[in-house]
């Protein structure tokens, strides 16, 4: 197994850390994970074999990267 030590485009700038980027990349994930869990833990039933609150957290494993990807894009737009 050969893993490169130096395979990154380090010369590109870091996307800007703006208030909007913080809301989308940090605030929204907190709202989704904590708000959703508190909401769904009181719901009866089963989603794909899991309790609704647990299933929601599994969904957040996809939703949270989407939030961060949008925040990254917003930061890049601002940096450009």
Residues making contact with another protein (CB under 8 A): 1, 3-10, 12-15, 17, 22, 25-26, 29-30, 33-34, 37-38, 41-46, 49-54, 57-58, 60-62, 64-65, 67-69, 71-72
| Dist. CA 54–CA 59, nearest whole Å | 9
Q: Give the residues across from 47 on adjacent strands.
A: 50
Asked whether the beta carbons of 71 and 25 are under 8 A apart, the reply is yes
Please report how close the Cβ of residue 57 comes to another protein at its closest, in angstroms. 5
Please report how close the Cβ of residue 78 comes to another protein at its closest, in angstroms. 14
Please report how close the Cβ of residue 18 comes to another protein at its closest, in angstroms. 11
């Amino acid at each position: 197994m050969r893993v490169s030590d130096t395979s990154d485009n380090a010369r590109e700038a870091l996307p800007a850390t703006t208030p909007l980027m913080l809301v989308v990349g940090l605030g929204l994930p907190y709202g989704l994970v904590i708000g959703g869990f508190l909401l769904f833990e009181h719901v009866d039933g089963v989603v794909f074999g899991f309790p609704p609150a647990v299933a929601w957290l599994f969904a957040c494993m996809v939703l949270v990267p989407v939030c961060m990807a949008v925040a990254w894009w917003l930061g890049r737009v601002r940096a450009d």
